[in-house]
Structure 1
Amino acid sequence: MTFYSFARFVANAALKPLYRYKVYGLENFPKEGGVLLCSNHINNLDPPVVGITSPRPVHFMAKEELFTVPVLKSIIRACNAFPVKRGMSDREALRKGLGVLKAGEVLGLFPEGTRSKTGEIGKGLAGAGFFALRSEAHVVPCAIIGPYKAFRKLTVIYGEPIDMDSLRKEKASPEVVTELIMSEIRKLIEKHKGVSA
């Protein structure tokens, strides 16, 4: 068993009884090839929840401050995370992310860059659009619907991959593509928010 698999098992054992999360749309998740997985961000537990519920291992971009914390930095690196400076202008992180996608693996992003304090989905950063345009990866929207309260149901929805062909041919801007991705996440939230009561 890899450390990632072990950590996923432990996290699931700890979080599942508490948040009783339900997962929808796993049939939409590509079984192979690079996947850019983009989710809204409402809680610090979003990364482990996505990591647990995703059918494939996820490489997360995580804020560089986490990699200065003793012990934690070793754990999150072993769980496939790598650091990124705020604002998505970190060239090394961009290269690393593209490498993950071109290797046919899953790159997990929270395009808002920081968690929403209101629970409402915010504006996404251009980095998500950059990865979508500069790779041939499938782009999968993901919605997490709270409330992250003990023994209240948490809902995770994986949407259908977003068709990127025309946008790549048109050489659309990263900002336009990011807004499309955020729009698809909003649609998932609107469609499924009633199931999280």
Structure 2
Amino acid sequence: MRAPYAAAAAASIACAGMSGRSGDGFVRCSDGHTRWGVFGAAGVVFVLRPAGGLPLVMLQKRSAWAHEGGTWSCAGGAIDEGETPYEAALREASEEVGDIPPHHRELGEYVFAPAVDWQYTTVVLEVDEPFGASVNFETDAVAWVHLDDVDDMQLHAGFAAAWPHLRSIVEAAA
């Protein structure tokens, strides 16, 4: 599915004078919408299961300068050329919320593909220990949130739309 778009993306990078592999940038998709990620985008929802309690998910509060700044979402961003969505999700998470524990288990993924030439893949990973103390230019805060409390937060619109699918992955793995 990405092949037709990869050629257009490569051409747009060449026209812009970029020589790197970065997928950063807004792109106009075949459905007429403009989205972030020249090669698509990916994110990760981390899950922590405390003994005897409801699962917790890590959410990141996006900094004010970011698209839909001040909202909560999972860590994520543009896929670089040659990266898989999984690789991009982990790279973006390490940049935005800090070092990821080495031991994690993939619970599933949800792919939002609104156009034939663009998709956002969210990977759901279970970790054994809390992490995520990083606050930087992309992240104002990091929080571990009970599943039942996520809907009460001011969510990024894209994450809000994906959340029911992501929650079902978390609950199915219980």
TM-score (norm. length: structure 1): 0.25
Higher relative contact order (CA 8 A, sep 6+): 1
TM-score (norm. length: structure 2): 0.27
- Which has the larger share of strand? 2
- Which has the larger share of helix? 1
